[in-house]
Amino acid sequence: MIFGFGKSRDEEEELEEEIEPVSFQGALNGQPANLKDNARLVKAGLMPAKNIITDGLALRAQMIRFEPKGERYQVAFYVDGVPNPGPKLSKQQGMAVVQIIKLLSGLNIQERKRPQQGGVNAELEEVNYQLRVATAPTPAGERLTIKAIDVKHPLDRADDIGITEELKERIRSLSTGRNGLILVSGPPNSGLTTTTFGVVRSVDAYQYTIFALAEPEHREFSHIATLDEKEGDTFDDELRRIIRMEADIIYLKPITDEDYVRSIMGVKDEITMIAEISAKDAVTGMMKFCKLAGSVEKGVDSLKCVVGYRLIRTLCDKCKEAFRPNPKLIAKMGLPKTTKMLYRPPRETVDEDGNEIEPCEKCDGLGYYGQTLLLEFIEMTDEMKQLIIAGGDPAKIKALAKKQDMPSMQKDGIRLVAEGKTSLEELQRAFKQG
């Protein structure tokens, strides 16, 4: 790590010699960065930007955020979804770093009042990354967020992100019949598109013809067809062209407005569709879709199911600590009665002789390494549709889903704890945040 937080000066110097800073290898949109005409910006911001991004990637940060706060910029590294404080920069240096990252990402450095999106290819220690960059204006200045994607491990399969066999089977069974929408609902910047793509990949692409209108970004559209663009084609035109090709399933772009939903409802009886919507959970996403549809009746009539999710950290398999739980705890949490052992992050910081224990090399002492999904699934059965149309509140909807044995986040979380993949503390943290 370039900044070497928590290290002594000697350790910092040794570590800095071992790691070459990240190298930038061109904007994702192909726009060349004019460094010569921005020499002052390069001098002020390039090395600090390299150092911060190097440090973030070394920490396994999936996201790096530059947030203006008063007269400073605060950097945060999001490791497995949890923010860790990075360096504080002066307002001037923070602005220089934000601007140089924009320049390298093919964005307009003169535009500071509107959101922009772009990205840059990068390499660190022979690992290739796509750094996807988004900016947003705030009253205090321009916020910049970087999503780091390991190109060789893009998390584009259902198994990669923790979609269970049970849920894959349910998705496959609902993918038949060329009708209705499978909706994936989740908060922005929380793996929504990755989860939706995992749902698409749960369908057997050998058995069904799948077309994608959504952008693949860094993902591999294996056995999924894309549509050749025709000038002047509307969304309705694209849907009709795909239907005429006798496709079974369309992977749509994210749902955002009434016109888009109206087009979806126009073909709901002719093809199965899969799409994402930004909302905190499955019930909220479903109601947002129904609002865009114009009525609850029209909305639920178009839906086959809604998949909701929450990301949860998984324990580091190298340092996780086993313990024997109290039988009362097992009963209280609804764990299987056969549960003999649970796991948690290591708690001891010193050994028997009082010497400080070196932190785990794999997880850097965090106790967690990676994330997986807690999933919920609401199928539009006849009884479920009647309840929703009658104005059933979220608690009643979830109670009926439980009665009809639909997957829930609580059930999924208990399974992960029982299997030793996560801890009770992490489960409680994830639900408290929700």
d(CA 274, CA 276): 7
Q: Are residues 295 and 405 in the same domain?
A: yes
* Contact call for residues 65 and 145 (beta carbons, < 8 A): yes
**Judgement on whether residues 100 and 140 belong to the same structural domain of the protein:** yes
The Cα 3–Cα 14 span in angstroms is: 12
Q: Are residues 34 and 112 in the same domain?
A: yes
pLDDT value of position 390 = 94
Pairing between β-strand 127-138 and β-strand 225-226 as defined by DSSP bridges = unpaired
Predicted pLDDT of residue 9? 43
Q: Give the number of domains in the chain.
A: 2
Residue 357 lies in a domain: no
**Residues 275 and 381 placed together within one structural domain of the fold:** yes
Query: Do residues 246 and 376 both lie within one domain?
Result: yes
- Confirm whether 199 is domain-assigned: yes
Matching residue, tokens 């709901």: 268
Question: 112 and 251, same structural domain?
Answer: no
In terms of domains, do 236 and 115 share one?
no
**63, part of any domain:** yes
The CATH number of the domain where 119 resides is what? 3.30.450.90
* 42 and 138 in a common domain: yes
The pTM assigned to this predicted structure is 0.83
User: In tens digits, what is the pLDDT along the chain, a chain of 434 residues?
Assistant: 333 333 444 444 444 456 799 999 999 999 999 999 999 999 999 999 999 999 999 999 999 999 999 999 999 999 998 999 999 999 999 999 999 999 999 999 999 999 999 999 999 999 999 999 999 999 999 999 999 999 887 665 656 778 888 899 999 999 988 999 999 999 887 889 889 999 999 998 889 999 999 987 777 777 889 988 888 899 999 999 999 999 999 999 999 999 999 999 999 999 999 999 999 999 999 999 999 999 999 999 999 999 999 999 999 999 999 999 988 888 888 888 888 899 999 987 777 777 888 889 899 889 999 999 999 999 999 999 999 999 989 999 999 999 999 999 999 999 999 999 999 999 999 888 66
Token digits of residue 138: 């705030």
Last residue of a domain, one of 119, 150, 181: 150
Give the domain extent around 311.
165-315+325-330+340-350+364-433
Nearest-angstrom CA–CA distance, 179 and 399: 27
Looking at residue 185, its pLDDT comes to 96
Query: Does residue 137 share a domain with residue 181?
Result: no
- Final residue of a structural domain among 125, 150, 175: 150
In a domain, 80, yes or no: yes
With a CB cutoff of 8 Å and minimum separation 6, the contacts of 364 are: 59
N-term to C-term CA, the chain: 32
Which pLDDT does position 237 carry in this prediction?
Answer: 94
Instruction: Based on the fold, state whether residues 228 and 373 are members of the same structural domain.
Output: yes
Same domain, 136 and 41: yes
257 shares its domain with 368: yes
